[in-house]
Chain A
Amino acid sequence: MSNTDLEDDLRGTFERAAATVPEAAGLTERATAGARRAQRRTWIVSGAAAVAVAAVAVVGFGLAGSHNQPTQPAQPPVAGAQAPAVETLTPQVLSAQAVSGTWRPVEIAGVKSLKAARPEDPVLTLRPDGTWVGSDGCNALQGTYTIGQRGAFTATSGPQHMMGCDNVPHTGVLKAAKRVALDGDALHFFGADGLQLASYARAR
């Protein structure tokens, strides 16, 4: 077979393949919303980094100041300025009460489509009594969880059906999660390696 034949066949194959791609809806909205979200995240991270740097600087200066003025150890000159930064960095005390509520997935590692149409809303509800229920989009899910004051997290899952759809793997997230962090209306789950597994937003 000549190269030209193969090249012609390749053109045909690519054209046929491309023609099967269904119309993608809402590309503009998804792209702009995604970019804005990423921008907001960058600002939050930059803000947190700035606060951390400020806190380290303030603590550093405070220590230096106390070394230089050993006669006044009880009242460092910058104690007042130190307080807000330290407060910002203090981790929120967590409990089943604090995280209880219904959450919708915003981002799950390795899951590309969280917006696909599904028979049910793929939400996750954490109850204050240490049980959780939810839906992966087409199957009811349930189980129990524990949460430590510093965010240590464990979960178990009960029996569930495995009907196929664009399933959202809440169970996988909860079982793999070792730590949880609450940031306003956002709930983040982290794995044993410290990397974020998923983030959820409080459902209104």
Chain B
Amino acid sequence: MEFEEYVSARGQELVRLGFTVSGDYQRAEDLAQIALMQAFRSWRKVRNTDDPHHYVRRILVNEFLSMTRRRSYGEAPTADVEPQRTVPDHATNIANSDHLWRALATLSARERVVLVLRYYQDLDDQTIADVLGIKPSSVRATASRALASLRKTRESHRVDERLS
């Protein structure tokens, strides 16, 4: 498979994956672009693997996790010249309509990634462990912690709704 063929077949899927892990459309495109750039550099090797998409997805997810560890993550570029954006903020639209999406934003980056890989990408724990370079038992523990946290947030949300 040529690089261009891969991108036209799976590129948009990568942007969607980037969005589900980051919750930010701009960042999602950046993540997809970085992953594709890295894959392009060694495409001859990548296309000969059993599943090139698995390889590129791994780059994207790990780039996101590295990004969240950087101190600059979430900072605005320059406060004095960055006015309010008028570009439609898709994340805000979803956040307004889906409290579970909002609750996902409170999880750690790794917890969120594990849930995305498990429930959006439908990967098993062994494959998720391979993507993240951790043990399957760590994947299970992280997912269980994340689900517990979401359940708790959801319960408190319901209590708030009843009280209001």
A residues apposed to B, CB below 8 Å: 1, 3, 6-7, 9-11, 13-18, 20-24, 27-28, 30-32, 34-35, 38-39, 108-113, 116, 136, 162-167, 169-173, 175-176
Contact = CB atoms under 8 A, between A and B. Distances in A.
Interface of B: 3-4, 7-8, 11-12, 15-17, 19-20, 23, 25-30, 32-33, 36-41, 72, 75-78, 80-87, 90, 93-94, 98, 100-101, 104, 115-116, 119-120, 147, 150-151, 154-155
Contacts of A32: 3, 40
Given A13-B104, A21-B25, A31-B40, 9 more contacts: A1-B155, A13-B101, A14-B116, A18-B17, A31-B7, A31-B39, A38-B41, A108-B77, A167-B83
Given A23-B12, A27-B32, A162-B83, A110 B77 contact: yes
A6 B82 contact: no
Contact of B120 (A18, A113, A170): A18
Nearest to B150: A6
B39 to A, nearest CB: 8
A109 B78 CA distance: 10
A28 B75 CA distance: 28
B12 A17 contact: no
Contacts of A39: 41
A167 B71 CA distance: 23
Contacts of A167: 81-83
Contacts of B16: 18, 21
A171 B81 contact: yes
B22 to A, nearest CB: 11
Contact of B119 (A7, A169, A176): A7
B28 A21 contact: yes
A27 B101 contact: no
A80 B147 CA distance: 71
Contacts of B30: 112
Nearest to B5: A28
A6 B147 contact: yes
B40 A1 contact: no
A86 to B, nearest CB: 34
A44 B101 CA distance: 45
Contacts of A30: 33, 36
Nearest to B93: A20
